[in-house]
Structures are given as C-alpha cells and as structure tokens.
Amino acid sequence: MTALYAADGVDFSLVCDGCGMTVDNLGANLHNWDLAWSLFRRHGWVGTQSTGGPHGCPRCTSQATAPSDR
C-alpha cells in the first residue's frame, strides 16, 4: 500500500511503508505515478518503480541502519 489513488482515479498519494508519512495531492501537480516517483527518488525516497512498493521516505532510509527507538 504505497500509492493511494483517490476515488476519481486521477489524484494520488505516496505513502511511506516505514513511518506512514503521506504526501497528498500528487496527481494535481505531477499527473502520473512514473513522473512523481522519478522526482521523489531524486529527493531521497527509495523503493521500486511499482506503485505497490515498498517505498521508504528519506527520514526512514536515513535511519535504516539504526534500531527503532520509537
């Protein structure tokens, strides 16, 4: 559960599988998943090209080597 599409099938959100951080309203600005994901990868997100993920936000991936202290 990584890319969440809105009911209209156009707008979508990116969800981090690590912490659940959600980036909303991507469809309005980036129009499609491939474009959105290529942009997020440049900003430190990691994961697969697939909308099914898993995907991790920069905050999670930068802490990947440290044990969770939450």
Q: Which residues bind Zn ion (CB under 5 A)?
A: 16, 18-19, 21, 57, 60
Q: How far is the CB of 66 from Zn ion (least distance, A)?
A: 13
By C-beta, is 31 or 44 nearer to Zn ion? Answer: 44
Q: How far is the CB of 26 from Zn ion (least distance, A)?
A: 16
Q: How far is the CB of 45 from Zn ion (least distance, A)?
A: 9
Rounded distance, CA 64 to CA 24, Å? 24
Rounded distance, CA 21 to CA 29, Å? 18
Rounded distance, CA 55 to CA 32, Å? 16
